[in-house]
Each structure stands twice: as C-alpha cells, then as structure tokens.
Amino acid sequence: MTTGSVLKVLIYVYDHYMLADPADVPQRRHMLEDLRKRGFSVSEVVQAMEWLSALVGDQRAAPADESMAEDRQERGGLRIFADGELSRLSDDCRAFLMLLDRQHVLTTRQRELVIERALALDVEEVDVEQLKWVVLLVLCAQPGQELAFARFESVMSDAGGPVRH
C-alpha cells in the first residue's frame, strides 16, 4: 500500500470538479488528462476513479426519503466493528463516527458507506483527517444532503476543523 495518494487525487477532484457547476465539469477524458498534468500518476488516477465509481455504484440503495425513514427506526442500535475495521480505523476515527452518529450527520447506511470507502483507501490505518474527507465525499455524492452538510459543518466548526464546500 502507498500513503494516501488516492485520497490526494480525490481531494483534488472534490476541490476542482465536485464543487463546480455540472456544466463546467470536463468530460472524463479531459479530467484524467488534467489530473496527469497536475502530477498524479496514471495508477493513482485510475485507483481514484475506481474509488469514486464504487462510491457512486453504492448509491443504488433506497431513495433518500425511504432511507431516512429506515434510519430513524434503526437509531439507537449498537455498531460493532469487525477485527479488520478495528485494525484499520483508529480509535479517533471510531470516536468521530460515533460523534457523527450522535449529531445525526450520517444515516446508518451512509455511516456504513463511509466505513467501506475509508477502508478502500490506500493507507494502512485511516486517520481522522482522511475520514473527514471520506465523509465529505460520501455526502457530496448523494443528492439532497444539505441538512447533513450543515450538521457536518457544525461538528467541524465545534471541533476546530475547516470544512471547504
């Protein structure tokens, strides 16, 4: 494994493309060329695009309204981390996920998606800063998450961390 190079590409994509007006986002081929010009290797770009494709592919879950209704029924449950998750998600990451859960930033499905996508990063152990980016990317990839963004921004400002969007 490398040291988070895929996340660097993802952060660049978020800053330069995900916040742009959809009409201003270049075609995939031009985006890939731009990323290569910015110094990212082909393998980093390919891995990042696969990561994003998997994120978008996981959006096939229930519609947002249905998911929110299911999540309200599931709240209060206990999330047990598997051994593989414990070894790759630091104590601080798990505490941060619990904070996001208590603040109703993420639905249960979104939390699971965040965990799955965090574990898909090219790092040995995910740290809190990396996890924050994953949360931001997951929320950005889902329509109708304005309230979740506002709650996330509130959590981040309370924690002293900047949120760019």
Does residue 81 surpass a pLDDT of 60? yes
Task: Please name the residue ranges forming H helices in 14-127.
Answer: 28-37, 42-57, 64-74, 83-88, 91-102, 108-119
| Mean pLDDT, the chain, integer | 79
Give the model's pLDDT for residue 28.
75
Predicted confidence band of residue 90 (pLDDT cuts 50, 70, 90) = very high
108-165 pLDDT tens trace: 999 999 999 999 998 999 999 999 999 988 888 777 777 776 777 777 776 555 444 4
**62 band by pLDDT with thresholds 50, 70 and 90:** very low
pLDDT at site 24: 64
**74 with 29: CB under 8 angstroms?**
no
Q: Is the pLDDT of residue 86 over 60?
A: yes
Which amino acid belongs to residue 136? L
- How far is 79 from 67, CA to CA, in rounded Å? 18
Whether 11 shows a pLDDT value over 80: the answer reads yes
- CA distance to 19, 34, 38, 51, 118, per residue, from 30 (Å): 17, 6, 12, 18, 27
Mean pLDDT, residues 31-54 = 88
Q: Residue for token digits 């998600």?
A: 89
How far is the C-alpha of 14 from the C-alpha of 6, rounded, in Å?
12
- pLDDT mean over 78-99: 94
pTM: 0.77
Task: Report pLDDT for 97.
Answer: 95
d(CA 40, CA 109): 32
CB-based contact 155:35 (threshold 8 Å): no
